[in-house]
Amino acid sequence: MNPKRKQRLTLVLFLFVGFGAVVGLAMYALTENINLFYNPTQIAAGEAPQGARIRAGGMVLEGSVTRNEVSLAVGFSLTDYESVVPVEFQGILPDLFREGQGIVALGRLNEKGVLIADEVLAKHDENYMPPEVAEALEKAGYDAQGEAAAAAYGEKTYGEKAYGDKMYGEQSSNVKEATP
């Protein structure tokens, strides 16, 4: 390589590495702002500001959903299988809302530590499967997502690749056993 090209190449590399480092550090410093939501453990630890609008993300705790018979009011608890945050919401829930489902609720924490949500978004995982497979899984004693999630929750925080441990390949071998 001739010296001029070599010089240009070093210059470009310096530019790239320098810029990359600046962006990397800035992203690292802003992690808290980039995170879309607080998980229940953070909220329980008081990391989330009270009175300000925040987002809380976690799983809807099994058996925690209570619906008001006259209004659209609904109450449930969010959990990351370490801490629990109670949530109250009035409005239409997304189709994917169900117990054991990951959701993100937007609202304010009141003084009792209850999140008064005005918006609830459903989160789904990266696993896709036909309904029949999900049904067969359930028959075989696997909750299509809850159990895998619970297993993963022990070590990982919500939002990381939490359900990755049980990939489809393993699941389908279970299906075969279940449907002889």
Partner 1 sequence: MNWTFFHKLGSPKWFYDLSARLQPWFLVTGVLLMAIATVWGLAFAPQDYQQGNSFRIIYLHVPTAILAQSCYMMMAASALVSLVWKMKMADMFIVAAAPIGAAFTFLALFTGAVWGKPTWGTWWVWDARLTSMLVLLFLYFGVMALRAAFDDLDMSSRATAILVIVGVVNIPIIKYSVDWWNTLHQPATFTLTEKPAMPPEMWLPLLVMVIGIYCFFTAVLLVRMQTEILRRERRTKWVRGIVEAEASK
User: Applying CB under 8 A, which residues contact partner 1?
Assistant: 5, 8-9, 12, 15-16, 19-20, 23-24, 27, 31, 34-37, 39, 57, 93-96, 104, 119-135, 144, 157-161, 163-164, 167-169, 172
Of 62, 69, 70, 110, the C-alpha closest to 87 is: 110
Comparing CB distances to partner 1, the nearer of 61 and 117 is: 117
Q: How far is the CB of 111 from partner 1 (least distance, A)?
A: 26
* Residue whose CB is less far from partner 1, 64 or 127: 127
Residue 61 Cβ vs partner 1, minimum distance, rounded to whole Å = 18
CB nearer partner 1, residue 32 or residue 111: 32
Between 35 and 50, CB nearer to partner 1:
35
Q: How far is the CB of 98 from partner 1 (least distance, A)?
A: 9
Q: How many CB atoms lie within 10 A of CB 79?
A: 21
Report the C-alpha gap between 53 and 115 in whole angstroms: 10
Q: What is the DSSP string of 79-101?
A: E-SS-EEEEEEESPPPTT--TT-
- CA-to-CA distance for 79 and 71, rounded, in angstroms? 25
**What is the token pair recorded at 37?**
């939501």
